Chain A
Amino acid sequence: MKTAAAAIADNPWLAQRARIARVTPEVPGVATYHLRLVDAQRHAQYAFQPGQFNMLYLPGVGEVAISLSAGAEQQGTWDHTIRAAGSVTRALAQLPVGAELGLRGPYGAGWPLTECAGRDVIVVAGGLGLAPLRPAIHALLAEPKRWGRIHLLLGARTADSLLYPGERSAWERSGLAAQTTVDRATPDWTGNVGVVPLLVDRLAGFDPARAIMFICGPEVMMRYTIRSALKRGIAAERIWLSLERNMQCAVGLCGHCQFGPAFICQDGPVLRSDRIAPFLDVEGL
């Protein structure tokens, strides 16, 4: 009799049954799906690295790659924060609590938390890009003595699309220094207006020589955030970003997410900027 793990390694197409335990509406169009693996033992044994993703499967509709946005240590479920945008995510948005779906993963390379030891950590997120960074923030705040200062720079289109407002306040109480900015200000907004790289340009309270940066957001935002970070003296080999490509098989077999020298599903989604930046500037790669 093979163990479950061995069966999965034998056949990467094998999905686990998962059930929607709860749905938390986040910002407009975005919700967090709290998933529980139907097999209680597998639910308990499941583990992932912050930044890794799962393939969520709706039979008859298809699969979609979604980063984990929280682990079971938070609310007892494996959480995925999803924007209803494509066919699978829109179908998912129609499912009631208790509905089943398939899950395979976790896949890919996550955020290099061990590299953060003793360093100031600057987490930069744009829009839904905060979701794959959230488990990294959880991990950082769980052991604050291991790192230097922790900054979060978060941008979104409007104030009401800044993710996880309540939780961010809790993070700030735990010692994270958060700054937010929006592209489009509504009259009631008194916070920052302007793009995320400006927050990097102005950031105080970190030592560039020992800072490490994690970035996730739209590709153009990441490109110019890297530029600002380099100007501030953060070394390219300590800037990490999470890239999105069309991940289909998630195990480096189907070729869809190929990007320069990398398969994003396998070598990424989290990649070191100096290894990938030359390819980010090439249109249509």
Chain B
Amino acid sequence: MDRTDLLQELAALRFTASLPAAALERLAAVATVARYAAGARIFREGSTNDRLMIIRRGRVALDMCVPGRGEVRILSLAAGDLLAWSALLGAGRMTATATALEETEVLAIPAAEIATACRDPDFGYAWMQRLAAALAERLLATRLQLLDLFADAEPVARD
């Protein structure tokens, strides 16, 4: 995939769409496409991973390992979603296992390149603003999931 295509792709993906053109250029220069077959592990909880990913196609499941319960699925992600942000924010240690649920393609960006780019305040502000918004969205969704809103809908034996 050449750089122009990558640029167009980044401009269309939800996470990066609203970044300034200059920022998109910088990302396109360092991004690569990675492909995963259905069922393939993208990374494992506890492992280190130095690339941040944006899903361009397919679906990815995030699981956490709970002793006695095995892998518990927390969330699934799809095109436009950010993946592996611990590469940038968590010293590279992954906090969930990511598995491709179907044939999946991601745009992978070395976290070190982003960290370097972030020293430029314009890029850094724009990037971190998108990242914070994505995190907030994920946090809200997690809270809603925590509320267990359909718990009432489960058959319960009252009286």
Enumerate chain A interface residues (CB-CB to B < 8 A).
28-30, 83-85, 90, 126-128, 155-157, 161, 181, 183, 185, 187, 189-195, 197-198, 201-202, 204, 217-218, 220-221, 224
Residues of A within 8 A of B140 (CB): 197, 224
Contact of A127 among B74, B145, B150 (CB under 8 A): B150
What are 13 A-B interface contacts by the 8 Å CB criterion?
A: A29-B153, A83-B155, A128-B153, A156-B153, A157-B154, A189-B73, A193-B75, A195-B141, A197-B144, A198-B141, A218-B149, A220-B147, A224-B144
8 A Cβ contacts from B131-159 to A: 137, 140-141, 144-145, 147-156, 158
Apart from A29-B154, A183-B150, list 13 A-B contacts with CB within 8 A.
A85-B152, A128-B153, A156-B153, A157-B151, A157-B154, A183-B148, A193-B74, A198-B141, A201-B14, A202-B81, A204-B79, A220-B149, A224-B140
Interface centre among B14, B72, B154 (most CB of A within 10 A): B154
| B145→A195 contact, CB < 8 A | yes
What is the predominant secondary structure among interface residues of chain B facing chain A?
mixed
Q: Tell me, in angstroms, the Cα distance from A224 to B145 when the chains sit together.
A: 12
Interface centre among B14, B74, B153 (most CB of A within 10 A): B153
Residues of A within 8 A of B118 (CB): none
Say whether B78 faces chain A, with CB atoms less than 8 Å apart: yes
| A202→B150 contact, CB < 8 A | no
| A195→B155 contact, CB < 8 A | no
Contact of B150 among A90, A191, A218, A224 (CB under 8 A): A218
| B76→A194 contact, CB < 8 A | yes
Contact of B144 among A29, A128, A161, A221 (CB under 8 A): A221
A194/B153 contact (C-beta < 8 A), A183-B145, A202-B14 known: no
Enumerate chain B interface residues (CB-CB to A < 8 A).
14, 59, 61, 70-76, 78-81, 101, 137, 140-141, 144-145, 147-156, 158
B33 to chain A, nearest CB (A): 19
Q: Tell me, in angstroms, the Cα distance from A181 to B101 when the chains sit together.
A: 14
B42 to chain A, nearest CB (A): 15
A283 to chain B, nearest CB (A): 14
| A29→B155 contact, CB < 8 A | yes
| A157→B148 contact, CB < 8 A | yes
A192/B155 contact (C-beta < 8 A), A221-B149, A224-B140 known: no
Interface centre among B72, B141, B156 (most CB of A within 10 A): B141
Residues of A within 8 A of B148 (CB): 157, 183
Residues of A within 8 A of B72 (CB): 185
Closest 5 CB pairs of A and B: A29-B155, A185-B73, A157-B150, A218-B149, A127-B153
Q: Tell me, in angstroms, the Cα distance from A161 to B71 when the chains sit together.
A: 21
A27 to chain B, nearest CB (A): 9
Residues of A within 8 A of B78 (CB): 192, 202
Residues of A within 8 A of B144 (CB): 195, 197, 220-221, 224
Q: Tell me, in angstroms, the Cα distance from A187 to B69 when the chains sit together.
A: 10
| A202→B79 contact, CB < 8 A | yes
Contact of B153 among A83, A90, A190 (CB under 8 A): A83
| A161→B150 contact, CB < 8 A | yes
Q: In this complex, what residue of B is CB-closest to A220? A: B149
Q: Tell me, in angstroms, the Cα distance from A195 to B150 when the chains sit together.
A: 11
| B81→A126 contact, CB < 8 A | no
B153 to chain A, nearest CB (A): 4
B67 to chain A, nearest CB (A): 15
| A156→B150 contact, CB < 8 A | yes
Residues of A within 8 A of B149 (CB): 126-127, 183, 195, 217-218, 220-221
Residues of A within 8 A of B145 (CB): 183, 194-195
Q: Tell me, in angstroms, the Cα distance from A12 to B149 when the chains sit together.
A: 34
A217 to chain B, nearest CB (A): 8
Q: Tell me, in angstroms, the Cα distance from A192 to B141 when the chains sit together.
A: 13
Residues of B within 8 A of A221 (CB): 144, 149
